[in-house]
């Protein structure tokens, strides 16, 4: 059968554009379908990009890309009961390993870069159906039918092509709800400095946390919480980010509100990443890392997209479009799967109720005890053991969790 392109990419976010740029540079005929009016119109993220993958994709991106601020300060805040809070920070002023970004600006710029290289992007194009036909896959869209021997699904967490072909099953514990506001406010920092605040426990009942990222003249304020914990939240989902913002005391004009589903699988629970004529990248593949220190998806999206573009070249040259396992083999040699595997122990630990609620409460109690002077006073270790027993947690369990966190 005749095909419209060597490769069709569904989704014009970071992973899809990176796959398109790489495939075009490898000499392939590529069409990218983006459902928004422009790239970035439908994309939501916390707004922090670790730039190592971007520099591999576009070596001079630091000089040209619309990045906001380098992140030079990490602040962690843990809310406890009784108006108590733990706060600690780490600052490294000359560091330029990650930047805050506004996706509507950045993705538009990246799409322009891709189009200048020859990538054909069809905007406002929605995939309505997908089915196998002959030696390829046919996509029915609101703008007509397209066929290709290889499809790269970069459509986000809903993985539309995989889902339409019956290759995805979703459960609420594997998705997070991300909600975000862009707030116009004074950012009292030098232009070459930026801060990320990671906040746990501000909203009770939910499994997840909040963030505040400093942009040039705005703040990105939001939360990411698992879908299965939403019924236990003290606020309904529609009020979550507003309640969070008010609780942490941020005021200003709301310039933008957005909500989005986020993958939350972890390395050992990843969905199928490839099938005959089909590979998944970025959120569609479930690529997100939360290891307690970093929450990452954008560099994984760019990295997996680049690998998909290179794998597409190999697959097209071989003319064996069922051999998409080559993509997975290349992923295994890359930072994408290696970093996901490295993060899994902490990812699993973070998902424990002990980590998100019980341990922070114990730590607050111990600190309160240590900063309180009365007639009777314990040693630090004895007070800690007492507080563990109070919650019914064996010391051995805490040691095992600590070992899991650092190994």
- Over the chain, what HEC string results? CCCCCCEEEECCCHHHHHHHHHHHHCCCCEEEECCCCCCCCCCCCCCEEECHHHHHHCCCHHHHCCCCCECCEEEEEEECCCCCEEEEEEECCCCCCEEECCHHHHHHHHHHHHHHCCCEEECCCCEEEEEEECCEEEEEECCEEEEECCEEECCCCCCHHHHHCCCCCCCHHHEEEEEEEEEECCCCCCCCCCEEEEEECCCCCCCEEEEEEECCCEEEEEEEEEHHHHHHCCCCHHHHHHHHHHHHCCCCEEEEEEEEEEECCCHHHCCCCEECCEEECHHHHCCCEECCCCEECHHHHHHHHHHHHHHHHHHHHHCCCCCCHHHHHHHHCCHHHHHHHHHHHHHHHHCCHHHHHHHHHHHHHHHHHHCCCCCCCCCHHHHHHHHHHHCCCCHHHHHHHHHHHHC
Residue 309 has pLDDT above 80, yes or no: yes
Question: Mean pLDDT across the stretch 27-41?
Answer: 93
Note the pLDDT tens digit of each residue in 65-76.
999 999 999 999
The yes-or-no answer to whether 7-66+102-168+271-343 and 173-263 have a common fold is: no
CA terminus-to-terminus distance, the chain:
52
Question: Mean pLDDT across the stretch 354-381?
Answer: 92
CA distances from 347 to 182, 286, 333, 388 (A): 28, 14, 21, 23
Question: Mean pLDDT across the stretch 360-387?
Answer: 93
| pLDDT at res. 317 | 97
| CATH 3.40.50.2300 applies to domain 7-66+102-168+271-343 | no
Report strand pairing: 127-133 vs 218-226. Answer: unpaired
Spatial distance between the Cα atoms of 219 and 221, rounded to a whole number of angstroms: 6
Note the pLDDT tens digit of each residue in 95-120.
999 999 999 899 999 999 999 999 99
Question: Mean pLDDT across the stretch 11-26?
Answer: 97
CA distances from 351 to 116, 162, 174, 265, 266 (A): 43, 27, 11, 11, 10
Q: Which residues, other chains included, contact 399 with Cβ-Cβ below 8 Å and sequence gap of 6+?
A: none
Spatial distance between the Cα atoms of 271 and 291, rounded to a whole number of angstroms: 19
Note the pLDDT tens digit of each residue in 240-283.
999 999 999 999 999 989 888 999 999 999 999 999 999 999 99
Spatial distance between the Cα atoms of 134 and 277, rounded to a whole number of angstroms: 11
- Nearest-CA neighbor of 28 among 119, 112, 111? 119
| pLDDT at res. 186 | 87
Spatial distance between the Cα atoms of 305 and 307, rounded to a whole number of angstroms: 5
| pLDDT at res. 246 | 95
Taken in order 234, 238, 242, 244, the sign of the CA dihedral is positive
Residue 1 has pLDDT above 80, yes or no: no
**Residue 144: band (very low, low, confident or very high) from pLDDT cuts 50, 70, 90:** very high
| pLDDT at res. 188 | 87
| pLDDT at res. 45 | 65
Q: Which residues, other chains included, contact 398 with Cβ-Cβ below 8 Å and sequence gap of 6+?
A: 359, 388
Whether the CB-CB separation of 172 and 28 falls below 8 Å is answered with no
Note the pLDDT tens digit of each residue in 161-179.
999 999 998 888 889 999 9
- Beta-bridge mates of residue 198: 76, 211
Spatial distance between the Cα atoms of 90 and 193, rounded to a whole number of angstroms: 13
| pLDDT at res. 291 | 87
Pick the CATH number of 173-263 from 3.30.9.90, 3.40.109.10, 3.90.1150.10, 3.40.640.10: 3.30.9.90
Residue 349 has pLDDT above 90, yes or no: no
Tokens of 403: 């070992």
- Nearest-CA neighbor of 67 among 101, 105, 41? 101
| pLDDT at res. 251 | 92
| pLDDT at res. 46 | 63
- Beta-bridge mates of residue 40: none
**Residue 306: band (very low, low, confident or very high) from pLDDT cuts 50, 70, 90:** very high
Residue 233 has pLDDT above 90, yes or no: yes
- Beta-bridge mates of residue 145: 140
| pLDDT at res. 44 | 65
Percent of the chain with pLDDT over 90: 84
Whole-model pTM: value is 0.94
Structural domain spans, the chain: 7-66+102-168+271-343, 173-263, 352-406
């Amino acid at each position: 059968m005749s095909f419209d392109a060597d490769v069709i990419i569904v989704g014009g976010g970071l992973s899809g554009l990176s796959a398109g740029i790489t495939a075009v540079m490898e000499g392939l005929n590529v069409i990218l379908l983006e459902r928004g009016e422009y790239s970035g119109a439908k994309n939501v993220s916390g707004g922090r990009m670790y730039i190592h993958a971007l520099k591999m994709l576009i070596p001079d991106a630091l000089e040209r890309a619309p990045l906001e601020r380098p992140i030079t300060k990490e602040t962690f805040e843990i809310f406890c009961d009784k108006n108590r809070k733990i706060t600690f920070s780490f600052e490294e002023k000359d560091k330029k390993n990650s930047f805050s970004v506004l996706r509507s600006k950045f993705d538009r710029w990246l799409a322009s870069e891709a189009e200048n290289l020859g990538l054909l992007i069809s905007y406002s194009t929605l995939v309505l159906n997908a089915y196998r036909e002959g030696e390829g896959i046919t996509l029915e869209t609101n703008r007509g039918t397209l066929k290709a021997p290889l499809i790269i699904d970069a459509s986000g967490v809903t993985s539309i092509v995989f889902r339409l072909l019956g290759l995805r099953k979703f459960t609420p514990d594997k998705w997070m709800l991300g909600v975000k506001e862009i707030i116009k406010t004074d950012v009292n920092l030098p232009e070459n400095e930026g801060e990320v605040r990671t906040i746990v426990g501000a909203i009770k009942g939910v499994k997840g946390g909040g963030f505040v990222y400093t942009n040039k003249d705005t703040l990105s304020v939001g939360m990411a919480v698992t879908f299965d914990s939403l019924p236990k939240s003290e606020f309904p989902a529609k009020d979550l980010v507003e309640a969070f913002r008010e609780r942490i005391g941020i005021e200003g004009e709301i310039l933008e509100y957005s909500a989005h589903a986020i993958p939350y699988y972890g390395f050992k629970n990843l969905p199928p990443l490839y099938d005959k004529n089909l590979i998944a990248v970025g959120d569609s593949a479930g690529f997100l890392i939360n290891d307690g220190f970093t929450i990452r998806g954008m560099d994984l999206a760019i990295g997996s997209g680049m690998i998909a573009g290179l794998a597409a070249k190999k697959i097209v040259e071989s003319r064996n479009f069922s051999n998409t396992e080559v993509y997975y083999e290349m992923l295994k040699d890359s930072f994408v799967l290696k970093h996901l595997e490295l993060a899994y122990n902490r990812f699993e630990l973070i998902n424990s109720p002990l980590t998100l609620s019980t341990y922070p409460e114990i730590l607050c109690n111990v600190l309160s005890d240590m900063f309180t002077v009365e007639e009777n006073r314990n040693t630090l270790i004895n007070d800690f053991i007492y507080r563990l027993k109070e919650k019914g947690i064996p010391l051995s369990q805490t040691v095992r969790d600590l070992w899991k966190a650092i190994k």
